[in-house]
Amino acid sequence: MDIVKSLGHPEEIFNLFKFKMGGCRTVMPKLDYESMSESLRTCYLYLNQTSRSFAAVIQALDGELRHAVCIFYLVLRALDTVEDDMTIPLEKKVPMLNDFHTYLYQANWCFTESHEKDRRVLEDFPTISLEFRNLGQAYQDVISDICHRMGVGMAEFLEKKVGSMKEWDQYCHYVAGLVGIGLSQLFSASQLEDPEVGKDTELANSMGLFLQKTNIIRDYLEDIQVARAFWPQEAWRQFACRLEDLAEPDQLTSALSCLNLLVTDALRHVPDVITYLARLRNQSVFNFCAIPQVMAIATLSACYNNPQVFQGVVKIRKGQAVTLMMQATNMGAVQSIMAQYSQEMLQRVSLTDPSRDKTLFILGVIQERTLSQATLASRTAHLSPMYLSAAMILAALSWQYLSTTAGQPPGTADMQGH
C-alpha cells in the first residue's frame, strides 16, 4: 500500500493526501475531450493506454503544443513497438524502421502482425497519421525528421551490441537524445520557448541521455531475463565474463563496481540538464521537462551502490514521486532536489569503489551548480512533530476512503466512454 511505504516520510504522506484530493490538477489540469474530434480523442486514449506517467505531463502542456507532443509520442511509440517485436524477421523489420517516417503520409498504412502489448498503435496507425497530417507544417517537419533519424539508428543497432561507452552514447542518442532534440524543436516551433531552445541540440541530447541511461541502469535484471543487453561491454567486461554473471550472489562486489561506473557516467549529463531547464520560460513546458528529470535523479540515487538492482526492481515510492511532481515547478526547487539526491549519493561513495574519484568529482560539480547546504536544508517544510503526527493519522484514516472514491489515475477516467 502506497501510504505504508511512506510512513517514515511525513511530507510524502501529506502530499499523497493532497494529490488524491485534487492537488494533481495543479500540474495536470483536466482536458476537454468533448471538444476534440473523434480521431484526436482516440489518440489521447492510446496515449493514456501506452504511457500513463508520460501521458500526464503531456496533457498538461499549453495549447496546440499538447497535440503536437501527443502525436509525436504516439508515432515514436509505434516505431519503438516495431523495434521491440522479436517476432518480426530482420529482413522485414530493417526496411520498416528505415522507411517508417514515410508511413506518416500514407493514409491507409498499418501493421497487423505485431505481438507486442502496444500493437494497437500500429494496427490503428491511420488514426495517428491522420492527426499528424492535421498538425501545422512546422510540427510535421520536426516529427518526420526525428522519426526518420531514429528509425535509421534503431536499424543500425538491431544486429550490433552496445560495445564501447561511445556506442552507449550513440545508442541512447538514437532512442532518447533525438526525442529531446525533437521536443525542443517543437517547443520553439510553438513559440512558447525561444528559438535557442530548439537550436541547442547538445543540451537537448543530454536531457534524453540522462533519462535513457537511468532506465537502462535500473532495468538490468528485467532486460537480461529476456536476453536483452543494453549495458555497454566496455563497462561490464572490466568486472565479469558475461553480463548475466553480475546477477550471481558471489559477484556482488564486481556488480556494484560496474553499476557505480554507469551511474557516474549518467551523472555527467546533469549539469547540461540544469542549464537546459534554466532556459525555459513557459510554465507548462518547464513542468513537462523538469518532472521526468527529478524522477530520474531520484531513481539513480536509489540505484547507486544498491544490490537490489541485481535482485529485483528498484523503484522510488509513489509518495516520493508525487512529492517530486508537486515540487518541481520552478528552477530553485529543481536545483534543490538535484542537490539533495547528489548529496545522498555522495554519502554512499565507497572508499574502495574503482570509480570513486570520478564519482566524487561529478557529484561535486552538480553540488556547485545547484544549491548550498543551507538552502538545501530549508527546502524541507519545518512542521512541528504534533502537526506531522496529526497529518499521518488523518492521511492513514482517510486513505482507504479516498482510494475507493478517487482511485483511478488522472486522465483515464476522463477518457472512458468515448
- Spatial separation of the C-alpha atoms in residues 99 and 21, rounded to whole Å: 47
From 52, 133, 228, 348, the catalytic residue: 228
Please report the DSSP string for 178-236 in residue order. Answer: HHHHHHHHHHHHTTSS-HHHHH-HHHHHHHHHHHHHHHHHHTHHHHHHTT---S-HHHH
* Burial of residue 297 (number of CB atoms within 10 Å: 0-12, 13-18, 19+): buried
User: Is position 218 annotated as part of the catalytic site?
Assistant: yes
C-beta of residue 126 within 8 angstroms of C-beta of residue 73: no
Q: Which three cell numbers stand for residue 271?
A: 549539469
User: Is position 171 annotated as part of the catalytic site?
Assistant: yes
Those residues whose C-beta lies under 8 Å from the C-beta of residue 250, and which sit 6 or more positions away, are: none
Q: Which three cell numbers stand for residue 216?
A: 537502462
Helix (H, G, I), strand (E, B) or coil at 20: helix
Dihedral in degrees, nearest 10, Cα atoms 240, 244, 245, 247:
120
From 210, 218, 239, 310, the catalytic residue: 218
C-beta of residue 16 within 8 angstroms of C-beta of residue 318: yes
User: Is position 288 annotated as part of the catalytic site?
Assistant: yes
- Spatial separation of the C-alpha atoms in residues 152 and 84, rounded to whole Å: 15
C-beta of residue 140 within 8 angstroms of C-beta of residue 93: no
Calculate helix-pair angle for 10-20, 385-405, nearest 10 degrees: 40
Cα 160-161-167 angle, rounded to 5 deg: 95
Among 241, 175, 187, smallest CA distance to 213 is for 175
Question: Look-up: residue for cell 489515475?
Answer: 409
- Spatial separation of the C-alpha atoms in residues 287 and 325, rounded to whole Å: 8
Distance of CA 411 to the CA centre of its chain: 18
Helix (H, G, I), strand (E, B) or coil at 195: helix
C-beta of residue 408 within 8 angstroms of C-beta of residue 24: no
User: Is position 242 annotated as part of the catalytic site?
Assistant: no
Among 237, 259, 330, smallest CA distance to 291 is for 330
From 17, 72, 125, 171, the catalytic residue: 171
Those residues whose C-beta lies under 8 Å from the C-beta of residue 222, and which sit 6 or more positions away, are: 313
- Spatial separation of the C-alpha atoms in residues 184 and 177, rounded to whole Å: 11
Residues annotated as part of the active site: 171, 218, 228, 288
